[in-house]
Structure 1
Amino acid sequence: MKIKSYVENYKVERTNPTIIVVCLCCYIQILKIPGFTLLVLMTTAMTATCTPLISILYDPTRPYMVSQRRNIQHNPSNKDLTIVLCIFDTPSINGLIRLLDISNASLYNPLSVYALRIIELVGRSTPLFIDHVNQEVPHIYRWTHTINSLKHFQELREFVRFQFFTSVSPKKSMFQDICLLSLEQDASLIILPFNKGGGVHNHAIQTVKLQVLDHAPCSVAIFVDKGLLPSTNIRNSHRQYTKHKFAMLFLGGADAREALVYADRMVANPEVSLTVIRFFSHNYLGDNEEERKLDDEIVTSFWVKNELNKGVVYKEVVVRNGEETIAGIQAMNDGSYDLWIVGRKQGINPIFITGLSEWSENEELGLIGDFVSSPDFYGAASVLVVQQQILRA
């Protein structure tokens, strides 16, 4: 009791454990004042030296640096497309279900979806990562209504399979749970909902999404749901579709190629129409030759595959700067599209976005994605922004 009182009196109960030991040694007169002072100084110096050194030498994101291609473009045709579906709040689930619906799961292109409910850790509770198959979910962390909605969708779509997980963690480590699950399940795509509005919560979620974009071991898609993407109904064994009308903006680079492959998957549905607009710079100014060759290859492959598909339209636009890029997008926007699909930023010719940097408010969407999702953009279409996996290893 005397020792406890001593610690409390000197207010060292939450300080470095070494200092507590030193204080106790001093109390029972093992150490004199000079020795005590020396040990405190040594402990302080060691802490000041080791803390930054550890942060330099230890990189917690290193496990996510993979050399294997884990993206939609290189996903084998005989393998399920594996998706990690991130759910930050229950209102976003309807839009995410509609996105999975138009991703066109089929016999030859099934979907394996790992639905991850992300809950912020409050207070001093212990972080949890729960696999619903193997572990019991505490009552306070259950999201039964959302799971039932996803299971109902699974019953209607025989080529979609769900597995459910719950992550309870502080904001600073949320992205690690997302990346780790993607790594362990060999996912090709992470889908993140876009949270509208400001506030501390949405700012924190925005930070999590930026961390995922920076460190994800696979491709990432951010879905801006405006609530008007047509849904699909099934009665008995027959599908009854509402016509989908999509537009894909191809500004070149890895992200645009990944977005085009995803759009190609969607257009395999005969009830989907897709307009692809490819942008060129005047006299190919600012082009990266290697990137342009890769772009030509994938666009040619896409067009050869869909040349006879009357629901596919391909157009080309030549621009000289960012202002003409915006004008070209606005010229084709008649307000009738249900979904805009764009690449985020990798490989975009800088000529296309010259002078647009001050327009962007949401870094995670990229310049063009932010523009077509803004309230000032005519129409009420949802937006899908795609970033292809960044090979860092």
Structure 2
Amino acid sequence: SGLKTNIATIQGAQSWGLLVLVIITACFGKIVGTVSVSLLCKLPFSEALALGFLMNTKGLVELIVLNIGKDRKVLNDETFAIMVLMAVFTTFITTPLVMAVYKPAKRQGKGDYKHKTIERKESNSQLRILACFHSYRNIPTMINLIEASRGTEKKEGLCVYALHLMELSERPSAMLMVHKARKNGLPFWNKVKQSDGDQIVVAFETFRQLSRVVVRPMTAISSISSLHEDICESAERKRAAMIILPFHKHQRVDGTFETTRTDYQLVNKRVLEQAPCSVGILVDRGLGGTTHISASNVDSIITVLFFGGHDDREALAYGTRMAEHPGICLTVVRFVPGPEVSGEIVTADINTSDDRVLMELKNKASNENSISYEERVVRNSRETIEAIREFSRCNLFVVGQMPENHVTTTAKLNAAKTECLELGAIGSLLTSPEFSTSASVLVVQQYRTTKKSPPPSLSSTKVAEIPEGDVESP
């Protein structure tokens, strides 16, 4: 096309005016049409405008059509040159215009919402969770955890966004797809062959129909380097109070853990640093077995190890909510430093917030048989580990990632599997080979308003989500 283009054929004010008119007409039709449809689909204006600029680009197909027209004498040299220059100009201005209009950093400040933690004053408000998973291996335990988290009928309920994390392989851009399922549980776009992704949708759709939980399956496809951005932005868009991530290791038949992919550990660490809400890392040891347990058959014991601090209070809030399930018993163990504190134990000032939540828990424990509260006085790391071992027969441990008023050790607890720093000292102990238990572990980090999150990059392209009737996305 370039060799056939003779710009010298564009002469006179009329020809150059015709070039300007063609450019304006081409841009107006594409941009205005795209923006109008995008606004009707309730996209923000800045995103609608950016999408219009992207649609305004011209590519190979147009140049092929122009060459065919020139070869068949439909277009003369002047008209051909005008059309080629229009294609070059509209494509050239796309990048600076999109960068000027679409600024995710500004949207970061606008994405503020009320409930970013499970610990809250309005305990009856709806709980929104973004549950992430990599493969089928994570689904049974994730669904059983969701079942345990659904609360009671008097509350507004639980809304779960199940995000399937997939690595970008061939396509040059990342995308976020929301799966709409037909009434029979199969995705609406696939009526003949059922793919692997469809089976995941069917699993969550079946669970949604059997429970009172609103579940919306989604898929995030991007490179590993930007996968954490998709997770954090999805949580912000859905106003999630907690992100649940699968641990980067899976349990083998002999009970030891084997690394699935080291890249997943980096994703988890980045989410912990940049998340707009609380985060939980789920270490799967087969919570509830390999299948979904119905609500009437749930019979689980959950243990919360409480040392003190923000993260432990968030873990306690989550455990208290799960205790509302009729098939779950909650045991809360508070560790108190003994009168003779050795040099390896770290202590902090008594936190009034810890005392307040523990007082509320004691009142609930006195009125409800499903909640039990214990205090253990420990003087060193050995006594702490022995006390924790007494509860190893439970089904799930819920612990804080970074206890503040904690009684832990600088020798043994922190030395347990230092390559998994994202689990914290207690989480690392519970997942170490030296600690024998069949219980899964949920390590919780509470969102704090003082935490600064870096603005997301432009490496991950977002696609407008398909509106769904049964779920309203704010």
What interval of TM-score do these two structures reach, taking the shorter chain for normalisation? 0.7 to 0.9
In the other structure, the counterpart of 1:303 is 362
Deviations for 1:262-287, whole angstroms, at most 9, x for unmatched residues? 11111112332222110112359754
The answer on 1:377 being equivalent to 2:400 is: no
In the other structure, the counterpart of 2:465 is none
Give me the whole-angstrom Cα distance separating, in 2, the residues matched to 1:69 and 1:116: 20
In the other structure, the counterpart of 1:276 is 332
In the other structure, the counterpart of 2:232 is 179
The answer on 1:338 being equivalent to 2:395 is: yes
Contact conserved, 1:116 with 1:166, CA < 8 A, in 2?
A: yes
Contact conserved, 2:319 with 2:398, CA < 8 A, in 1?
A: yes
User: SS at 1:357's partner residue?
Assistant: coil
The structure 1 residue matched to 2:410, chosen from 354, 357, 364, is 354
**Structural mapping, 1:164-313, within 5 Å:** 164-196=217-249, 202-229=261-288, 233-234=293-294, 239-283=295-339, 287-289=347-349, 292-313=351-372
The answer on 1:84 being equivalent to 2:142 is: no
Deviations for 1:226-249, whole angstroms, at most 9, x for unmatched residues? 114367754xxxx53242112110
Give me the whole-angstrom Cα distance separating, in 2, the residues matched to 1:338 and 1:233: 13
Give me the whole-angstrom Cα distance separating, in 2, the residues matched to 1:196 and 1:183: 27
4+ runs of 1 displaced by more than 4 Å?
A: 58-62, 64-69, 133-142, 197-201, 230-234, 283-287
User: SS at 1:145's partner residue?
Assistant: helix
Contact conserved, 2:306 with 2:333, CA < 8 A, in 1?
A: yes
- Structure 1, unmatched stretches of 5+, are 4-57
Contact conserved, 1:119 with 1:169, CA < 8 A, in 2?
A: yes
Cα 1:273/1:106, change in 2 over 3 Å: closer
Partner amino acid for 2:394?
Y
* Farther-moved stretch of structure 1 (340-349 vs 127-136): 127-136
In the other structure, the counterpart of 1:117 is 164
Partner amino acid for 1:63?
Q
The answer on 1:148 being equivalent to 2:202 is: yes
* Farther-moved stretch of structure 1 (291-300 vs 279-288): 279-288
Deviations for 1:314-343, whole angstroms, at most 9, x for unmatched residues? 11122233333222212x23x431111111
User: SS at 1:277's partner residue?
Assistant: strand
Give me the whole-angstrom Cα distance separating, in 1, the residues matched to 2:410 and 2:352: 23
Partner amino acid for 2:108?
P
In the other structure, the counterpart of 2:175 is 128
Cα 1:128/1:59, change in 2 over 3 Å: closer
Partner amino acid for 1:189?
M
Partner amino acid for 2:369?
K
Give me the whole-angstrom Cα distance separating, in 2, the residues matched to 1:267 and 1:201: 32
Identity over aligned pairs, percent: 31
Give me the whole-angstrom Cα distance separating, in 2, the residues matched to 1:386 and 1:154: 25
The answer on 1:318 being equivalent to 2:393 is: no
In the other structure, the counterpart of 2:108 is 63
User: SS at 2:249's partner residue?
Assistant: coil
Give me the whole-angstrom Cα distance separating, in 1, the residues matched to 2:268 and 2:432: 18
Partner amino acid for 1:226?
R
The structure 1 residue matched to 2:148, chosen from 84, 87, 102, is 102
Look at both structures and tell me which one has the larger radius of gyration over its CA atoms. 2
Give me the whole-angstrom Cα distance separating, in 2, the residues matched to 1:180 and 1:232: 29
Q: CA deviation at 1:61?
A: 11
Give me the whole-angstrom Cα distance separating, in 1, the residues matched to 2:293 and 2:162: 22
Give me the whole-angstrom Cα distance separating, in 2, the residues matched to 1:244 and 1:364: 26
Cα 1:342/1:219, change in 2 over 3 Å: same
Cα 1:309/1:347, change in 2 over 3 Å: same
Give me the whole-angstrom Cα distance separating, in 1, the residues matched to 2:340 and 2:171: 57
User: SS at 2:302's partner residue?
Assistant: strand
Contact conserved, 1:306 with 1:312, CA < 8 A, in 2?
A: yes
Q: CA deviation at 1:379?
A: 2.5
* Farther-moved stretch of structure 1 (244-253 vs 277-286): 277-286
Contact conserved, 1:233 with 1:241, CA < 8 A, in 2?
A: yes
User: SS at 1:166's partner residue?
Assistant: strand
Cα 1:62/1:372, change in 2 over 3 Å: farther
Cα 1:184/1:67, change in 2 over 3 Å: closer
Partner amino acid for 1:321?
N
Q: CA deviation at 1:366?
A: 1.2
Cα 1:67/1:186, change in 2 over 3 Å: closer
Contact conserved, 2:151 with 2:325, CA < 8 A, in 1?
A: no
Give me the whole-angstrom Cα distance separating, in 1, the residues matched to 2:2 and 2:287: 68
User: SS at 1:226's partner residue?
Assistant: coil
Cα 1:60/1:318, change in 2 over 3 Å: farther
User: SS at 1:205's partner residue?
Assistant: helix
Q: CA deviation at 1:164?
A: 2.3
Give me the whole-angstrom Cα distance separating, in 2, the residues matched to 1:321 and 1:97: 38
Cα 1:294/1:176, change in 2 over 3 Å: same
In the superposition, the TM-score normalised over structure 2's length comes to 0.63
